Amino acid sequence: MMFQDEGFYLSLKNVLIFILGSFILIMPFSFILALIITSKIKGKRFFRVSYFIPSILPLTALGLLWQFLLKGKGGLINNIFVSIGLDQWAMDWLGDPDIAIFSVVAVNAWIFCGLNMIIFASGMVSIPEEIYEAATIDGANGFQKVLYITVPLMKEIFKIFSILAVTQSIRVFAQVYVMTGGGPNGATEVPTTMLYNQSFVYNNFGGGNAIATFIVVTALVSTIVLNRLFQGKARSA
Amino acid sequence: MKIGKIVIYGFAILCSIFFLYPLFFNLLSSFKDNEGIYNEILALPTKWRFENFVAAFESANIHISIINSIIYATFGTLLSLILGLLASYPLARFNFKLNTPIYLYYTLGLMIPVFSMLIPISQIVTAINGFNNYFVMIILYAVFELPLTIFLITGYMKDLPKELDESAIMDGCGPYRLLFQILAPLTMPAISTAGILAFFGIYNDLVWNVLFITDHDMYNISMGLLTFVGKMGTSDMGPMFASIFITIIPTIIVYLFFQEKIEKGLGSGSVKG
Q: Is the pLDDT of residue B79 over 90?
A: yes
Q: Where is pLDDT greater, at A53 or B272?
A: A53
Question: Looking at the domain assignment, is residue B197 inside a domain?
Answer: yes
**Going along chain B, which residue ranges are E strands?**
none
Q: Predicted confidence band at A19 (pLDDT cuts at 50, 70, 90)? A: very high
Q: Which residue has the higher pLDDT, A214 or B56?
A: A214
Residue of B16, B34, B211 to mutate for A, most A C-beta atoms under 10 A: B16
* Structural domain of A215: 2-236
Write down the ipTM of this complex.
0.86
CB atoms within 10 A of CB B8: 16
Nearest residue, CB atoms, A192 vs list B12, B15, B115: B115
B95, B204: one domain: yes
Contact B8 A170 (CB under 8 A): no
pLDDT value for B1: 58
**Chain A nearest C-alpha distance from B167 (Å):** 35
What is the pLDDT at residue B85? 93
Alpha carbons B77 and B199: distance in angstroms, whole number: 6
A174 touches chain B (CB under 8 A): yes
Among A199, A175, A197, residue whose Cα is nearest residue A112: A175
Give A17's Cβ-side CA count (13 Å radius): 23
Over residues A176-204, mean pLDDT: 87
pLDDT band at B41 (very low <50, low <70, confident <90, very high): low
Nearest residue on chain A to B267, alpha-carbon basis: A119
The answer on B146 and B32 residing in a single domain is no
3-state secondary structure B62-78: HHHHHHHHHHHHHHHHH
| B272 has a pLDDT exceeding 60 | no
For residue B212, the domain's CATH number is 1.10.3720.10
Test mutation, A60, A161, A216, chain B, max B CBs within 10 A: A60
CATH of the domain at A77: 1.10.3720.10
pLDDT score at A236: 41
Q: Is cis: bond before A184, omega within 30 of 0?
A: yes
pLDDT tier for residue A160 given thresholds of 50, 70 and 90: confident
Residue B270 pLDDT grade (very low, low, confident, very high; cuts 50, 70, 90): low
Structural domain that includes position B15: 2-54
In a domain, B188, yes or no: yes
Interface check for A141 against chain B (CB to CB < 8 A): the answer is no
Nearest by CB to B221, from A60, A115, A196: name it: A60
Which pLDDT score is estimated for B69?
92
pLDDT of residue A233: 53
Least confident of A9-18, A30-39, A201-210, B39-48: B39-48
pLDDT band at B82; cut points 50, 70, 90: very high
User: Residue A88 has what pLDDT?
Assistant: 77
pLDDT at B123 exceeding the cut of 60: yes
Residue A164 has pLDDT above 90, yes or no: no
**Looking at the complex, does the CB of residue A173 fall below 8 Å from at least one CB of chain B?**
yes
What is the rounded distance in angstroms from the CA atom of residue A191 to the CA atom of residue A204?
14
Q: Which residues of A touch B244 (CB under 8 A)?
A: 61, 64-65
B97 pLDDT band (50/70/90 cuts)? confident
pLDDT of residue A2: 65
d(CA A157, CA A148): 16
Q: Give this prediction's pTM.
A: 0.87
pLDDT > 80? residue B90:
yes
Domain presence at residue B268: no
**More confident: A62 or A74:** A62
Under the banding of pLDDT at 50, 70 and 90, the label for residue B61 is: confident
Residues B29 and B159 in one domain: no
**Average pLDDT rounded to a whole number, residues A203-210:** 88
Q: Is pLDDT of A237 > 50?
A: no
For residue B120, the tally of other CB atoms under 10 A from its CB is 11
B123 within 8 A of B174, measured Cβ to Cβ:
no
> Taking residues B245-253, what's their average pLDDT?
89
Q: Which of A62, A36, A30 is nearest to A158 (CA)?
A: A30
Q: Is the pLDDT of residue B190 over 70?
A: yes
Ranges A78-92, A97-111, A116-130, B248-262: which has the least confidence: A78-92
Whether B87 and B202 map to the same domain: the answer is yes
C-alpha distance from B8 to closest chain A C-alpha (Å): 8
Residues in B closer than 8 angstroms to A64, CB to CB, are 225-226, 229, 240, 244
| Domain contains B240 | no
Cα B18 from chain centroid? 24
With a cut of 90, say whether residue A77 has pLDDT above it: no
- B45 and B68 in a single domain? The answer is no
- Which secondary structure element, helix H or strand E, spans residue B14, and what is its range? helix B2-29
In a domain, B273, yes or no: no
Please write the tens of the pLDDT for every residue from A100-147.
999 999 999 999 998 899 889 888 888 888 888 888 888 888 788 888
- State the Cα–Cα distance between residues A116 and A108, nearest whole angstrom: 12
Which B positions 150-169 lie with beta carbon below 8 A of chain A?
none
Give the closest residue to B29 by CA, choosing from A90, A92, A74, A84.
A74
As for how many domains chain A has, the answer is 1
Sign of CA dihedral A56, A58, A59, A65: negative
Does the residue B242 lie in any domain? Answer: no
> CB-based burial of residue A197 (10 Å sphere; 0-12 exposed, 13-18 middle, 19+ buried)?
buried
Task: Let me know if residue B214 belongs to a domain.
Answer: yes
- Comparing A191-200, B138-147, B199-208, B225-234, the range with the smallest average pLDDT is B225-234
Q: How high is the mean pLDDT of chain B?
A: 85
Task: Let me know whether B93 and B224 are in one domain.
Answer: yes
Same domain? For B32 and B65 the reply is no
Contact assignment for A65 to B256 by CB distance below 8 Å: no
Q: How confident is the model at residue B87 (pLDDT cuts 50, 70, 90)?
A: very high
Give the residue among A199, A198, A193, A191 at the shortest CA–CA distance from A215.
A191
d(CA B242, CA A116): 29
Q: Is the pLDDT of residue A16 over 90?
A: yes
Residue at B241 is within a domain = no
Q: How far apart are CA B32 and CA B113, in angstroms?
A: 41
Q: Rounded mean pLDDT of B12-29?
A: 88
The reported pLDDT for the residue numbered A6 is 78
Find chain A residues with C-beta within 8 A of B270's C-beta.
Answer: 115, 119, 164, 168
Residues B219 and B108 in one domain: yes
Give the separation between CA A178 and CA A86, rounded to whole angstroms.
Answer: 28
